[in-house]
Structure 1
Amino acid sequence: MSNDRSFVETCNGSTWTVASESSDAGNYARKAFENVVVGLMKTCFDTVQLRTSERFEFWQEVVCKQFVLASAEVEAGEGDFDGYLTSQEIGPLLLSELRAPLHFWSRTARDVRREDNDVFIVSLMQRGEGELTQYGRSVLQHPGEIVLYDSTNPLQYNFGGDVQLVKIPKPLLEARISKPRDLVAVRFSDSPLAPMLASLLKEAVALDLDEKANSVVGRRLSNCILDLLVSMCDLLREDGIDGSSSTQFEKILRFARSNLDSEDLSPEMLAAVGAVSVRTLNRLFGGIGSTPMRWIWKQRLEASRRAMQEGRVHSVTEAAFSNGFNELGHFSRSFKRAYGQTPQQLLRGALAPTGT
């Protein structure tokens, strides 16, 4: 048995092995990372346990493995660097709280090509400041403000302080909001929902969920987080992005997506929301090759499919009725025509155990 002494880190009352003291500098960060994450839903890292000459190298590798491939530089001497990161997997999301002095991240086109990691990352600043540059836009970030960035394009993100991060697979967010790229590198300032999101993230990161609990509770909790983020996006667009106002049609579509469960959703209701005539409404939907009711029907089918696929419902009836359908047989036939399988088949696959 080895007599090597190990560094340990305590996270929410649990002790986590970080690394062997005898690790050489070249493999230090990788070994530390592997020792922490194997078999666990939660990870904690603190550079204070490491030799000063190894801290920043360790930090870069940890952050890249948790989020996306990028290179980093630090303003202070690397030996003075002190960072802390705790992360929790909640369903398909990765939630993190990070504390570090000012440092500068750059994700290049080469970094993007080198890994297949299509995600959006939401950053909520708690203390300190940040600056994000992507898609030709640059935005300063202050405490209480949120920025969004996209892993599939180059970016620069400089920050120091305390930050909460949410890593979201791109399809999950793209299924809930239109044109999310328009929200990248745009500051979500003075949002009344930001304190609610901060509190939810803090409590979620602190949870102790095993794999079985995470497969059920984590899925539902992740959808709460996503719904709150989408609500913040909707508020931002209602107020206008960089001073520009949403079009009437965009407002109509947002309203419809938020009210798919209503049996009263109709062309007349949508026309009233957009302050247009039903004739004008039909013309707007014609521009995307649809009609109001055909579009609503398609959105309801897709919302039902996502609810079953993501484990948010436990019966076909719940999936159908919670998304505005009132006749189960008609729903099932339409679903099979659209997706090539019955809703029962999809639900059985989604709820099946992932392993033994």
Structure 2
Amino acid sequence: MSLGFQTEPGNPAHHDYWREMVCRHHIKIAPQFDSQIGFRGQMRIDDWGPVQLSDASFTPITYMHGVDEIRQSDRDDFLCVVNLDGDGAFQRNSQSIAYKAGDLLLYDTNQVYALNFPTAARTISARIPRALITSRLPEADRQFALCLRGDRPTTQLAVSMLKNAATLSELPDEGSCREMGHSLLDIVCIAVKDNLGATLVPTPGQAAVLKRIKLSLLEQLGDASLDIETIAQAQGLSSRTLNRMFASEGTTVMRWLWKQRLAASYRALSDGSVRQVTEAAFRFGFKDSSHYTRAFKREYNLQPNKLIAR
């Protein structure tokens, strides 16, 4: 799907129109406009498989995303924002992350925040389902917002590819868009890893063990017999120690494994490598397809067969 819209000069309802269109087609926001400047804005939105790309230009504005917007949203996404022109700040609570032209901001939209553009700006944004981020960056759930500086080569490559894709005069066919959307996402995640490296993990000592355990479990997602006892035994740990390690990240080993299975199945259904819900269930460690479907619906507010039809 491709869509474009813009405000009309002199239209007294242009504030409401911009808010309504952005909320309906992109992300729920409550915009605050500069009363001293007549607002102008335009946006183009394209679907690249599961990734939505948008190219937007606008005069000064602050996008508020509060509790009401979170409740109203039926999506669970990360947003990747490339700032092409103008400076700004991402704010939540008492924290403020400044960004400038060329930087890339990746953040979880299931949070209260404000995105401030004090001057006219142009952005390229990628709206990405949470599962497609966490399946590539398992630790990303703990990171509220990451600013990737534009002076790093991997950030520059990610920015260039996102901009080129979002500004094409004509899109490839649907199948190619889907495949390229996943490739764009891979490059963004590589840039995240390059920029942050080991800062994504809590402590050096625990990080090495957790990383080893997680990598081992990711290779065994299809093993439905895994439980805390067998995992602990295979890792040479007690069940209590294993639970304590995952508790440091606010989860349990089985909960983490369950989420990785769902995320991997989401990715497989989304990119077409799995074509049937039953196949996805059994490939990723679920013993019953009905249980898998219910778990998937609870996690993503979406029936898994809807991804097949996309």
When residues 300 and 61 of structure 1 are mapped into structure 2, their CA distance, relative to the original with a 3 A threshold, is closer
Q: Which of the residues 279, 283, 291 maps onto 1:335?
A: 283
1:72 matched to 2:36: no
Q: CA deviation at 1:260?
A: 10
Instruction: Give the unaligned 5+ runs of structure 2.
Output: 220-234, 245-252, 290-304
Tell me the equivalent position of 1:202.
163
Q: Which of the residues 258, 264, 271 maps onto 1:311?
A: 271
**1-side partners of 2:184 and 2:16: how far apart?**
32
Asked if the contact 2:82–2:105 (Cα under 8 Å) also holds between the matched residues in 1, the reply is: yes
Superposition map of 1:274-289 within 5 A: 282-283=236-237, 287-288=241-242
Could you give the per-residue CA deviations for residues 218-258 of structure 1, whole angstroms, max 9, x where no partner exists? 221121122112212222331637xx986355467668989
Q: Residue 60 of structure 2 aligns to a residue in which SS? A: strand
Tell me the equivalent position of 2:64.
106
**2-side partners of 1:240 and 1:257: how far apart?**
17
Tell me the equivalent position of 1:233.
192
Q: CA deviation at 1:142?
A: 0.9
Letter of the 2:271 counterpart: G
Q: Residue 56 of structure 2 aligns to a residue in which SS? A: strand
Asked if the contact 2:131–2:267 (Cα under 8 Å) also holds between the matched residues in 1, the reply is: no
Letter of the 2:288 counterpart: G
**2-side partners of 1:177 and 1:53: how far apart?**
44
Letter of the 1:75 counterpart: D
Tell me the equivalent position of 2:225.
none
Q: Residue 313 of structure 1 aligns to a residue in which SS? A: coil
Asked if the contact 1:43–1:86 (Cα under 8 Å) also holds between the matched residues in 2, the reply is: yes
**2-side partners of 1:336 and 1:148: how far apart?**
28
Asked if the contact 1:44–1:86 (Cα under 8 Å) also holds between the matched residues in 2, the reply is: yes
Q: Which of the residues 166, 171, 174 maps onto 2:134?
A: 174
Q: CA deviation at 1:309?
A: 1.5
1:120 matched to 2:78: yes
Asked if the contact 1:220–1:312 (Cα under 8 Å) also holds between the matched residues in 2, the reply is: no
**1-side partners of 2:274 and 2:163: how far apart?**
28
Superposition map of 1:179-198 within 5 A: 179-189=139-149, 190-198=151-159
1:217 matched to 2:179: no
**2-side partners of 1:350 and 1:52: how far apart?**
39
Q: Residue 77 of structure 1 aligns to a residue in which SS? A: coil
**1-side partners of 2:263 and 2:28: how far apart?**
32
Q: Residue 59 of structure 2 aligns to a residue in which SS? A: strand
Instruction: From the CA coordinates, give the structure whose radius of gyration is larger.
Output: 1
Tell me the equivalent position of 1:247.
204
Q: Residue 186 of structure 1 aligns to a residue in which SS? A: strand
**2-side partners of 1:110 and 1:333: how far apart?**
34
When residues 191 and 260 of structure 1 are mapped into structure 2, their CA distance, relative to the original with a 3 A threshold, is farther
Tell me the equivalent position of 1:145.
103
Could you give the per-residue CA deviations for residues 290-326 of structure 1, whole angstroms, max 9, x where no partner exists? 9xxx99x99997787455322353799xxxxxxxxxx
Q: Percent identity?
A: 17
Q: Residue 116 of structure 1 aligns to a residue in which SS? A: coil
Asked if the contact 2:107–2:144 (Cα under 8 Å) also holds between the matched residues in 1, the reply is: yes
Tell me the equivalent position of 1:57.
16
**1-side partners of 2:116 and 2:285: how far apart?**
49
**1-side partners of 2:143 and 2:105: how far apart?**
8
Asked if the contact 1:308–1:350 (Cα under 8 Å) also holds between the matched residues in 2, the reply is: no
When residues 148 and 315 of structure 1 are mapped into structure 2, their CA distance, relative to the original with a 3 A threshold, is closer
Asked if the contact 1:69–1:107 (Cα under 8 Å) also holds between the matched residues in 2, the reply is: yes
Q: Which of the residues 162, 165, 184 maps onto 2:125?
A: 165
Letter of the 1:340 counterpart: D
Q: Which moved more, 1:133-142 or 1:81-90?
A: 133-142
Q: Residue 240 of structure 1 aligns to a residue in which SS? A: helix
Letter of the 1:91 counterpart: G
Aligned residues: 269
Q: Residue 113 of structure 1 aligns to a residue in which SS? A: helix
